Structure 1
């Protein structure tokens, strides 16, 4: 039962995208928020990435969900609505909604076309599940559909996507999840762990070049939506491990001196200068739990993959942001 519930958008180009790109390119250390990597093509490419042998997070998390789902379902309870922040793997969400016999599913994503296509496919496969796709920026508080009013709510944020946010922004994000889901809600979240650097780099700079295409697609999107003339072939994808900050960083590095315009504004990059496009922070057990507490959630259960490779944490919404 596919429902329609889209946030109205007057401007065909998201003004936040325009603002973030122009401001980010003008910074002394240029950076563009990772969420703008996910237009329709970016979302398709990321799905391709999740199937690569070198990209362990999706495979590891899916196996953990499959192995621990009876325990997770016992802690969560039956029925209610699952609200997924960012339309993710169909395999993961099916494992969850089947195990808890969910009544409704609300995928929230900024990429509208991709969101509607994936929601329609899930609706066709699971006709007894009410599916309410919501096109919105999940980093803000989101108004949920009236159709799930009064239902118990389980937020779902898999894929270690929380790692894309610096800790201060991650805390704000979790608090917005708390505001979106409301009192009494629970959150099931995936967090990646620190591991050997060569394995981390391989996951974010695959030999097939799919992640490189995914990263450069951001420049293609800027050209298409913001009247840019960026020479995409003048930028190379690079993945770096920042040990001090415990994160993988993705950059687009200029391979030659280059100038271009976006929305009529001119930018110049010397060879070697980069645009920082994504972070993937890795959390140890205590760090992940403290992050949840700071964001308004109290951890109540945790499941870990073999060798502490990846974690799933179930948390409850605090009544007050800084409640003990």
Structure 2
């Protein structure tokens, strides 16, 4: 492990992460060593980060969750018409398994549900609840990082498959990463599979900027909580009052960017390494890419999928796409 002073590597105090934090530490040190500095948004979601995100979804300014719920609620039966009879529904990054219930309620021809999530203990609890609520379905949880190769349960080997990727999570990936994910999903699901994807749409920049800069400051707390996690789990010494939340719409790249900006010149230690920050220098913590219907269809086609159908909420803020892998 090295310490970085104005780009020059010098020996750092020894840092010995446990097995669970080793990858976290490696990713943070790697990201903060690059220019510009960045940390993956997947590290937002400790217990407090998850709680804050749920609070964000209830904010008046934050339209994506309620808009997607509207689409799934109003068009669920039309969406599941594309599902093969006896299919297994595979959700990539299932979390609390909330949105999938709109589809499970509408699709009586599904045979199995396979929630895939990296949080194994939480996943087991959610799976047990679903077994009680949907006794007709085989609930087969898979604890895995859905962005990496993983094996589906043997029970679904002979079933047709449907993928589900809601929440505009695909927007957190740059277009080339989103394309790679869609190809990866196709490999997991196989030829002939259907994929249902939630996609946030391009809209007025004022609406977008308000959604990520809420008046109550919850998104700012969510962003800054990442630094609390670095302090707690990786021995960091970030002073939260010396960083500020920034979120803005990047017109050129058609995405919201979230950053943590240093209010002053300072040195910060984390994971056994030390990093210089200039005043105004940022840690890029998240992107949320926005698509037009055509730009997402083009992305899907370039990734091997054929668009089947698309639905939006009444305000046209959010879309859900059905794709097939021929």
TM-score over 0.5 for the alignment? Answer: yes
Contact 1:43 1:114 in 2 (8 A): no
Give matches, 1:1-324, under 5 Å.
11-13=19-21, 15=23, 17-88=24-95, 90-101=97-108, 102-318=110-326
Deviates more, 1:27-36 or 1:82-91: 82-91
Contact 1:39 1:111 in 2 (8 A): no
TM-score of the pair, normalised by structure 1: 0.88
CA spacing shift, 1:14–1:301, aligned 2, 3 Å: farther
Gaps of 5+ in 2: 1-17
For residues 325 and 207 of structure 2, what CA distance do their matches in structure 1 show?
34
Aligned residues: 308
Contact 1:38 1:111 in 2 (8 A): no
Misfit runs of 4+, over 4 Å:
none
Q: Which structure has the greater CA radius of gyration? A: 2
Give the SS at the match of 1:214.
helix
Gaps of 5+ in 1: 1-9, 319-324
- Report how far residue 14 of structure 1 moved: 5.3
For residues 31 and 302 of structure 1, what CA distance do their matches in structure 2 show?
34
For residues 218 and 121 of structure 1, what CA distance do their matches in structure 2 show?
30
Deviates more, 1:162-171 or 1:227-236: 227-236
Contact 1:205 1:211 in 2 (8 A): yes
TM-score of the pair, normalised by structure 2: 0.88
For residues 303 and 73 of structure 1, what CA distance do their matches in structure 2 show?
12
Contact 2:77 2:107 in 1 (8 A): no
For residues 284 and 257 of structure 1, what CA distance do their matches in structure 2 show?
40
